[in-house]
Structure 1
Amino acid sequence: MAYTVGVDLGTSAVKALVVDREGQIIDEVSRPLSLSQPKSGWSEQDPEEWVKETVEALKILTDRLEKDVSEIEGLSFSGQMHGLVLLDQKYNVVRPAILWNDTRTTEQCQEIYEKVGEKKLLSITKNPALEGFTLPKILWVKEYEPENFRRAMTFVLPKDYVRYRLTGELCMEYSDAAGTLLLDIENKDWSTEVCKAVGLPISFCPPLVASTNQTGTVTLTETGLSRNTKVFAGGADNACGAVGTGILREGKTLCSIGTSGVVLSYEADAGKDFGGEAHYFYHAAPDALYTMGVTLAAGYSLSWFKDVFAPGEEFEDFLEDVEEVPPGARGLLFTPYIAGERTPHADATIRATFTGMDSSHRREDFVRAVMEGITFSLNESIEMFRKNGKKIDTIISIGGGAKNEEWLQMQADIFNATIVKLKSEQGPGMGAAMIAAYGCGWYDTLADCADSFLEEAEYFEPNRERVETYKRLFSIYQKVYHQTEELSEELKDFRK
């Protein structure tokens, strides 16, 4: 029997799973990761912790494998997007990684627009300058940590650094490169125009490879893997999530509710124009792209609420009474802007609100309001896609939002679409394992691999009455951002 391994480097944990030729998960391990937030809006991690916990997860898997480790033919990665890992000339880490959910770079985004031009940037990168992206982080270090910037010779993203440590080969693949604001999307190469405008030498950008390219073999023996294990470049977490859920043909749409929330739809080319409100990134599938809308604090909003108001309680118990609360949470509305927002409002300053509170509300009302608010935010992306001509009537749901039946039904009602739950939902980790399986030659295409590996388990159809109720609530939800935008800006100086 042959196996592949998928490693998913997330924000809160690194997960690794072993998959056989039939797509069955033989074993899986998750190792927690710590997060540093030294100031409001800052978010950093130690790359050495990523390496340590990834190696530990792989060692646990190989120790538990009842077969010879040489039967693990390939390994690939999924990783959190946008995070900046600066490296010196010997590829040593210069400073802690600045993560995707770090919002310190508002000034640098404006600097990019001034130096490159907003329309020019959109025409080259197909994405707006947002605080979460990589280039603003590079410019922040250049301005505020000049000594660290002088030491830096190149940069990579989180999973690329872990892959380098396992193989000794440094590169970046296209799906993550597309989220840096330095990639010319149409020409599929680093943009000399953007680099020149912001004062970066093109040599600062690492070599580019396709997600399915082999990038060496495992040389770090502490993993327990054979030195013959092939390593493939992998992809951004959302690109791998698309692979791992079968979003590999036109018409396929994904809703992923993790720490952040994502609505993602397959695209054969970069022909649509969302005016910067949605993202165009390269897919992990060869020669494909995807459009994407993002809710910055999706599952994070719910875990924040639980940690503050029900610390130590299991999520299953925390959500137990939600189904007893009617749609609309008895007049209580939540906007999930606890870390700012991205789609359709690219705003690092906006903050969350509960609207409509009164003394009759109980904890379960607040919990339902948070779940509905997260889903409303994701629905803004779905409605934007629909207005741009995409037909969205079936959506595959993964992540925390797919682990609760009431939330799955809520998605069906708010999105007004059939929601599909997969039999074995592993998302990005499975996508990484599938990239390795394709790279090892098990299948002719990733779509063939998906047809073999993935099985749909449950379907949730929209309830007509609730669809109409949620349409009314959604129109109210959309007003809250505009009515609180100025207040959030005025409160910014008080955040310490």
Structure 2
Amino acid sequence: MKYVMGIDLGTSGVKAILVDENGKVCCETSKPYRLIQDKPGYCEQHPEDWVEQTIAAMRELMARQPAHSRQVEGISFSGQMHGLVLLDESRQVLRPAILWNDTRTTEQCTRITKKLGDRLQKITKNQALEGFTLPKLLWMKEHEPNIDQQIDLFLLPKDYVRFRLTGAIHIDYSDAAGTLLLDIGKQTWSEEICQAFDIPSQICPPLVSSEAEVGTLLPQVARETGIKEGAKVFAGGADNACGAIGAGILSSGHTLCSIGTSGVILSYEEDHERELQGNLHLFHHAKKDAFYTMGVTLSAGYSLDWTKSLLAPEESFQALLEGVADVAPGANGLLFTPYLVGERTPYADSIIRGSLIGLDSRHERAHMVRAVLEGITFSLNESIALFRQAGKRIDSIVSIGGGARSQTWLQMQADIFQAEVIQLKNEQGPALGAAMLAAVGCGWYPSLEACADQFIHQAAVYEPNQQRVDVYAHLFRLYQSIYTKTRDIHVDLKQYRSI
């Protein structure tokens, strides 16, 4: 039996899976690493932590499955998007990586928009938002000029890890599309944008497709992990693009709900010409010559993590959710907005913060937990509403990530989204998408679609309950009013934030 390995470099940790030719996940493991949040709005990580924990995860897989170590034919990657890793001419890291959920760059986003106007949308198909890579580069110029002068190359997180494992430097189109430096139509780095902000185009890494073979493991890495030398390494893709592959979002009419630290509603596109509104994004898919549109909730699973840390730090998530199914929609008159670190879709607001509206002394823990789940789902539904306003038909949604591990939450998604929600068997998210890219790259299957037929299977389908649909439609309108009614309050409160 032959095997491939999929590695997903997430925000809170790295996940690695070993998959055989039939699509069976034989082994999986994950390793954590820490966030650095020294100032309000700042979120960084040490790239060396990614490398150490990725190698540790690979080594653990091989130790747990020693008979398979000689049969690993291919390895590919998925990774958190947008994060800025800076290297000098000796390929040494210059500073901690600035992550996708870092919001320090509001002024730089304003400057980008003012300088490029409509050209930015025409070239990149996206607006200037704090999460993207270009604003981070401009912040470096203004605030850390000594480091800026030493920049010889930038990479995104998974590309840095792959470089350390192979010695080869590349970035794939799906991750490059999230930098705000890529000309989506021409599939090249934009000289116009680089010149507008005095960014040397040579610091941009070489572009490749996600399924491209980019090298093999360095001998010392192969020895350290226990994987045979010569195992092929493929470029991989952005976490959302790989999550889409792992969920079978490979043709028009397919939509994904992915709930991790952030939350995503993603829909497949044949080309890059769709007109977008409401801070939706358009990126290259990890499937060649395909694209996807996407809306983002910055604090999706993170909101639930935060709730658990406050209410039940010693309990499991399963224990936290006990009793939620017995609470009626609306959580006994309680609404939650998941704006813990600002929001992206549809508001693109780094100042707004979360709210619990309607608290009274009769509320219990189960009410608060249900309100948090509903608030996360309402936020995701704002992206679905934008898709529908743009003419997309969304009748069926594949749900992956944390939101797919609770029957109560899956039914809630069906009722709020007003669409059938599909749960997958043995759902592995972006790590499976990375493994599928490796499987196709190794020639096991002629296409991602053929691979998906073997690797991906439905477990259950949740249909909307019309009575709850009507209740949630009214609650959703109330939810949508909270942003405009609290925004000015949060602007005034910003001066008092010290953490």
Alignment size in residue pairs = 495
TM alignment of 1:479-494, pairs within 5 A = 479-494=481-496
Q: Which deviations, in whole Å up to 9, do the C-alpha atoms of 1:323-367 show, x marking residues without a partner?
A: 111000111000000010000110000000011111111111111
**2:407 corresponds to 1:405:** yes
Which residue number corresponds to residue 124 of structure 1? 123
TM-score relative to the length of structure 2: 0.98
Give me the TM-score of the superposition, normalised by structure 1.
Answer: 0.99
1: CA distance, partners of 2:25 / 2:389? 39
Residue equivalent to 1:420: 422
Amino acid at match of 2:422: V
1:343 is aligned with what amino acid? T
Whole-Å Cα distance in 2 between the matches of residues 68 and 15 of structure 1? 18
In structure 1, give the amino acid aligned to 2:249: I
TM-aligned CA deviation for residue 214 of structure 1: 0.4
Task: Find the aligned partners of 2:139 and 2:115 in 1 and give their Cα distance.
Answer: 15
Deviation at 1:105, TM superposition (A): 0.5
TM-superposed CA distance for 1:226, in Å, is 1.7
AA of the residue aligned to 1:135: L
Partner Cα distance (2:338, 2:478) in 1: 14
CA separation in 2, counterparts of 1:464 and 1:316? 27
From 226, 229, 235, the counterpart of 1:233: 235
Alpha-carbon offset, residue 428 of structure 1: 0.2
Larger displacement relative to structure 2 (352-361 or 95-104): 352-361
Aligned 1:171-250 pairs, distance under 5 A = 171-219=170-218, 220-221=221-222, 222-250=224-252
1:270 aligns with 2:268: no
- Could you give the per-residue CA deviations for residues 438-489 of structure 1, whole angstroms, max 9, x where no partner exists? 0001111101100111110111110000000000000110100011111111
Q: Is the 8 A contact 1:260 1:299 kept in 2?
A: yes
Question: What is residue 25 of structure 1 aligned with on the other side?
Answer: 25
Matched, 1:376 2:375: no
Q: Secondary structure at the match of 2:149?
A: helix
* Contact 1:337–1:351 (CA under 8 A) maintained in structure 2: yes
Structure 2 CA distance for aligned equivalents of residues 139 and 423 of structure 1:
44
Partner of 2:143: 144
Question: What is the rounded CA distance, in whole Å, between the counterparts of 1:338 and 1:68 in structure 2?
Answer: 43
Deviations 1:288-324 (A, max 9, x none): 0000000000010111011022211111111101011
Look up the SS of the partner of 1:215 in the other structure.
Answer: strand
1:2 and 2:2 aligned = yes
Q: 2:354 aligns with which of 346, 352, 355?
A: 352
Secondary structure of the residue that 2:265 maps to in structure 1? strand
Q: Over residues 125-165 of structure 1, what are the superposed CA-to-partner deviations in whole Å (9 max), with x where a residue is unaligned?
A: 00110001111111111110111111111100000000000
| Residues 262 and 293 in structure 1, CA contact (< 8 A), matched pair in contact too | yes
Q: Give 1:68 shift.
A: 4.8
Q: Give, in whole Å, the separation in 2 of the partners of 1:399 and 1:64.
A: 25
CA deviation digits over 1:13-42, x for unaligned, max 9? 101000000000011111011111001111
Q: Which runs of 4+ in 1 moved over 3 A?
A: none
Deviation at 1:60, TM superposition (A): 1.0
Residue 69 of structure 2 corresponds to: 69
**Change beyond 3 A, Cα 1:101–1:78:** same
Give the Å deviation of 1:116: 2.0
Q: Structure 2 CA distance, aligned partners of 1:214 and 1:488? A: 48
1:4-153 equivalence runs, <5 A: 4-117=4-117, 119-153=118-152
- 1: CA distance between counterparts of 2:66 and 2:138? 49
**What is the CA distance between 1:276 and its match in structure 2?**
5.9
User: Which SS does the other structure have where 1:151 is aligned?
Assistant: coil
Amino acid corresponding to residue 494 of structure 2 in structure 1: K
Matched, 1:386 2:388: yes
Matches within 5 A, 1:426-441: 426-441=428-443
Rounded Cα–Cα distance in structure 1 between residues aligned with 2:274 and 2:120: 16
CA contact (8 A) 1:126 1:276 kept: no
1:237–1:428 Cα contact (<8 Å) kept: yes
> Aligned partners of 2:406 and 2:311: how far apart in 1?
20
Partner in structure 1 of residue 497 of structure 2: 495
Map 1:282-297 onto structure 2 (within 5 A): 282-297=284-299
Q: Tell me what 2:256 maps to.
A: 254
How far, CA to CA, are the matches of 1:447 and 1:143 in structure 2? 46
- Distance, in Å, in 2 between the alignment partners of 1:10 and 1:409 is 26
Paired residues of 1:7 and 1:75 also in contact (CA < 8 A): yes
Report the Cα distance in structure 1 between the residues aligned to 2:200 and 2:108, rounded to whole angstroms. Answer: 18
Structure 1 residue 113: Cα displacement? 1.4
Confirm or deny that 1:160 pairs with 2:159.
yes
- Secondary structure (helix, strand or coil) at the match of 2:376 reads helix
* 1:58-89: CA deviation from partner (whole Å, max 9, x where unpaired): 11111222425231000000000000000101
Tell me by how many angstroms 1:277 deviates.
Answer: 1.9
Q: What is the Cα deviation at residue 262 of structure 1?
A: 0.3
| Alpha-carbon distance between aligned partners in 2 of 1:223 and 1:40, rounded to the nearest angstrom | 38
CA RMSD of aligned residues (A): 0.8
1:467 and 2:469 are equivalent in the alignment = yes
Note if contact 1:375-1:411 (Cα within 8 Å) is conserved in structure 2.
yes
Matches of 1:8 and 1:122, distance apart in 2: 29
Measure, in 1, the Cα distance between the counterparts of 2:240 and 2:67: 31
Whole-Å Cα distance in 1 between the matches of residues 309 and 327 of structure 2?
Answer: 21
How far apart, in 2, do the equivalents of 1:271 and 1:145 lie?
Answer: 37
Supply the AA of the counterpart residue of 1:393: D
Shift of residue 255, structure 1, vs aligned partner: 0.2
Conservation of the 8 A alpha-carbon contact between 1:183 and 1:189: yes
Residue 332, structure 1, aligned to residue 334, structure 2: yes
TM superposition shift of 1:398 = 0.6
State the shift of 1:54 in Å: 0.3
Q: What are the superposed Cα offsets for residues 390-435 of structure 1, whole Å, 9 maximum, x if unpaired? A: 1111100011111111000000000011110001100100000000
Tell me the alpha carbon deviations over residues 178-226 of structure 1, each in whole angstroms, 9 at most, x when there is no partner: 0000000011110000000011011121110000000100112322222
CA contact (8 A) 2:278 2:347 kept: no
Instruction: Indicate the percent of aligned positions where both proteins have the same amino acid.
Output: 58
Structure 2 Cα separation of the partners of residues 315 and 265 of structure 1: 29
Contact 1:122 1:276 in 2 (8 A): no
- State the secondary structure of the residue aligned to 2:279: coil
CA apart distance, 1:91: 1.1
Secondary structure of 1:449's counterpart equals helix
The 8 Å contact of residues 277 and 386 in structure 2, kept in 1 or not, is answered as no
Taking a change above 3 Å as real, the CA distance of residues 166 and 422 of structure 1, as seen in their structure-2 partners, is same
CA distance in 2 between partners of 1:149 and 1:225 (Å)? 37
Query: 2:154 is matched by which residue type in structure 1?
Result: F
- Superposition pairs of residues 446-465 of structure 1, within 5 angstroms: 446-465=448-467
